[in-house]
Amino acid sequence: MDLYEGLISRRTIHRFRTDPVPDDIIRLMLSAAIQAPNHHLTQPWRFVVIRGQSLQELANYRYEVALDKAQRQNRPHAERIAEQARTEFAMLSVVVAVIQVLADDPYRQQEDYAAVSCATYAMMLAAWSQGVGTYWGTGAITRYPPVLKLCQVADNERIVALVRVGYPKEIPHVPRMAAEDKTLWLT
Ligand SMILES: Cc1cc2nc3c(=O)[nH]c(=O)nc-3n(C[C@H](O)[C@H](O)[C@H](O)COP(=O)(O)O)c2cc1C
């Protein structure tokens, strides 16, 4: 797959097959991630590859976070919603936590967040080049203390993305507005 084709065809995958993604593909994704542009070469990222028993633990934390949210929203069938959230994670092959090491300076933090986002996207595109799908997830689970503990996130760090990784069961179509409608050409 050439780079442009990968950029155009990549989609967030919501439904994954259960067959495992080889560690070599995860390594290839991480190698791509660390090539992301980053100002002053701060390389402000860290990655945690979550598999096996740790992934089951993460799935249980997802249940707790989803249950809390559904109950606070007074949603009927809160437990069923939370159970579904758990199963979604429990069935995955791998989740990669992308962590930003937070600089003291707020402006540097903002630039570093951009760099970590680039790294996350590079990782996703590298996966896509190997026929592997990803899903960049955020939300309350990225701040949930047991998840921070599981990923050994220090006080000067934060989770920028929990990237689900697996072979796609289906690839959704997600339309975009035309680039021309978003662009001002100056002469
Ligand atoms: C910073 C960031 C956070 C995201 N967090 C979530 C999320 O928590 N849940 C979710 O369903 N999608 C999340 N996404 C994925 C977007 O929803 C997705 O990229 C968008 O729907 C467009 O789909 P596509 O990636 O297939 O083009 C996130 C994407 C980014 C860049």
Give a yes or no: residue 99 inside a domain: yes
- The C-alpha atoms of residue 147 and residue 4 are separated, in whole angstroms, by 35
Residue nearest to atom 19 of ligand 1 (CA): 12
For ligand 1, the distance from its centroid to the CA atom of residue 137, given in whole angstroms, is 6
Predicted local distance difference test score (pLDDT) of residue 126: 98
CB atoms within 10 A of CB 83: 15
Dig out the tokens for 183 from the structure. Answer: 């662009």
In a domain, 139, yes or no: yes
Q: Note the maximum CA span of the chain.
A: 58
The number of domains in the chain is 1
What residues are in contact with ligand 1 under a 6 Å CB criterion?
A: 11-12, 136-139, 174
Could you list the residue range(s) of the whole structural domain that residue 100 is in?
A: 3-51+93-182
Q: Is 86 exposed, middle or buried (0-12, 13-18, 19+ CB in 10 A)?
A: buried
With respect to residue 121, please indicate whether it lies within any of the assigned structural domains: yes
pLDDT of the chain, 187 residues: tens digit per residue? 899 999 999 999 999 999 999 999 999 999 999 999 999 999 999 999 999 999 999 999 999 999 999 999 999 999 999 999 999 999 999 999 999 999 999 999 999 999 999 999 999 999 999 999 999 999 999 999 999 999 999 999 999 999 999 999 999 999 999 999 999 999 9
Q: Cα dist. 10→32, 114, 133, 173 in Å?
A: 16, 20, 8, 10
pLDDT of residue 4: 97
pLDDT score for 1: 85
Does residue 64 form part of some domain? no
Asked, for residue 17, whether it belongs to a domain, the answer is yes
Q: Are 51 and 22 in contact (CB under 8 A)?
A: no
Q: What is the pLDDT of residue 70?
A: 97
Kindly tell me the burial class for residue 150, based on how many C-beta atoms sit within 10 Å of its own C-beta (0-12, 13-18, 19 or more): middle
Spatial distance between the Cα atoms of 15 and 75, rounded to a whole number of angstroms: 24
Asked if 105 and 160 count as a contact pair (C-beta separation under 8 A), the reply is no
- Any idea what the CATH number is for the domain that residue 129 is in? 3.40.109.10
Exposure of 48 by Cβ count < 10 A (0-12 exposed, 13-18 middle, 19+ buried)? middle
Rounded distance from Cα 72 to ligand 1 centre (Å): 23
Residue 84 within any structural domain of the chain: no
- Would residue 158 count as lying in a domain? yes
Feature table: binding site for FMN: 10-12, 39, 136-138
Does residue 18 form part of some domain? Answer: yes
Q: What would the two tokens of residue 50 be? A: 């979550």
